[in-house]
Amino acid sequence: MSESEPIERLVGLLAKLPGLGRRSARRAVLRMLMQPEALMLPLAAALREAAEAVRPCAVCGNLDTRSPCAICRDPRRERGVICVVEGVADLWALERAQVHRGLYHVLGGTLSALGGVGPEDLAIRPLLARVAEDGAEEVILALPATVDGATTAHYLTDRLRPTGVRVTRLAQGVPVGGALDVLDEGTLAAAVKARRPA
């Protein structure tokens, strides 16, 4: 063995991260070992700090160092509009796009008959409670455009109906900058059906 014990352990842990196989984990470790002071020790400290400081927001499920999170605490956000997302990654993506000025609600997944994910496994009850207690005006369902995402959206629409809140979902169509000839038929069909006056 040429790779010593601590190197092997580090490669094994890094290889567990999504997007990194053993090969790229090894490359990353070699790069880090070239500059331990500049990269490795700061990374170790940042990991420890994040592991200790970051927790889910008790209101919306976002990850932050405080609960309620910075978004839930922000007085400039529209408190009457709640955007429902599958996971924190989607919340971050919407924040980067800077299109939603309301609050969020992280479900923690989508309903999945195959995956054995039922309503009780997701943060649906807290969502209904928020809508009822805070008197929300609109719930935007920003769920993935998959079968499970659509199932979850239907389910939530049914459950939210008694509250009288307006429920909307994201538009489907041609992605901005997308060429038509590489799009799947489902997306093209949706874009044609939902066509608008030019």
Under the binding rule (CB under 8 A), the answer on residue 39 touching its own copies is yes
Under the binding rule (CB under 8 A), the answer on residue 161 touching its own copies is no
Q: What is the four-CA torsion angle of 58, 64, 67, 72, rounded to 10 degrees?
A: -80
Q: Which residues pair with 166 in a beta bridge?
A: 138
DSSP 3-state of 193: helix
Taken in order 25, 27, 30, 31, is the CA torsion positive or negative?
Answer: negative
- Rounded to the nearest angstrom, the gap between the alpha carbon of residue 192 and the centroid of all alpha carbons in its chain is 28
Count of residues engaged in binding its own copies, rule: CB under 8 A: 57
Rg (C-alpha) for the chain, rounded Å, is 21
Query: Which of 33, 113 has the CB closer to its own copies?
Result: 33
Under the binding rule (CB under 8 A), the answer on residue 7 touching its own copies is yes
Query: Which of 64, 148 has the CB closer to its own copies?
Result: 64
Draw the binding track, 59-98, toward its own copies (x: CB under 8 A; -: no contact): ---xxxxx--xxx---------------xxx-xx--x---
Query: Which of 62, 152 has the CB closer to its own copies?
Result: 62
Dist. CA 176–CA 192, nearest whole Å: 15
DSSP codes of every residue in 49-113: HHHHH-EE-TTT--EESSSS-HHHH-TTS-TTEEEEESSHHHHHHHHHHT---SEEEE-SS--BT
Draw the binding track, 96-135, toward its own copies (x: CB under 8 A; -: no contact): ----------------------------------------
From 43-51, 149-157, 165-173, 175-183, span contacting its own copies (CB under 8 A): 43-51
If we measure between CA atoms, which residue out of 142, 18, 17 comes closest to residue 88? 142
Query: Which of 92, 172 has the CB closer to its own copies?
Result: 92
Query: Which of 19, 162 has the CB closer to its own copies?
Result: 19
User: Interface with its own copies by CB under 8 A: which residues?
Assistant: 1-7, 9-10, 13-14, 16-20, 24, 26-33, 36-37, 39-54, 62-66, 69-71, 87-89, 91-92, 95
